Amino acid sequence: MPEASSGAIAAVTVALATGLQPTAAVPLAIPLAVLTMNIEIFVRSFDAVFTHWADRSIERGNLNMVPIINILGAVPWGLSRAIPVAGLTGLLAVNLCTWTLHSSPRNWVHASWLLAGRIL
C-alpha cells in the first residue's frame, strides 16, 4: 500500500507553491507515495542489520549499546521520509509543476490534473 502521508504532504506543498486547486495536486501525490513505499521496504530490510547488532550486544552483555543501536536504527527510517518529501517536492516537483503549468498551451495540463484528481 502506498505511503499516503508522504503523498499528502507532497500534494499540499505542490498545490500551495504553484497555486493549484487541491484536486489537481492529487495525481502528483500518487507517484511520490509509491516511491516512498518502495524506499520503506528497502529500509525495513536494512533495519534487520540493527536488530542483529542489538541481539549480539545483548548476548555479549553490553546492554548500554541497545539504546544507541535503537536510535541509529531510526535514522534510515527518518531519511526514508525526508528524502522523498523534502528533496523531491522541494527541489523538483514544485519547479517542474510550475514550469509545466505556465508553459502548456491553453492550460490543458491543469485541466487534465483536475480531471484526474476528481476521478481519484
pLDDT of residue 9: 76
Tens of pLDDT, residue by residue over 46-60, are 888 999 999 999 999
Helix H or strand E segment including 27: helix 22-59
Decide: 10 and 89 in contact? Cβ < 8 Å: yes
Each domain of the chain, given as residue ranges in start order, spans: 4-119
Tens of pLDDT, residue by residue over 21-37, are 777 777 777 777 787 78
Decide: 88 and 32 in contact? Cβ < 8 Å: yes
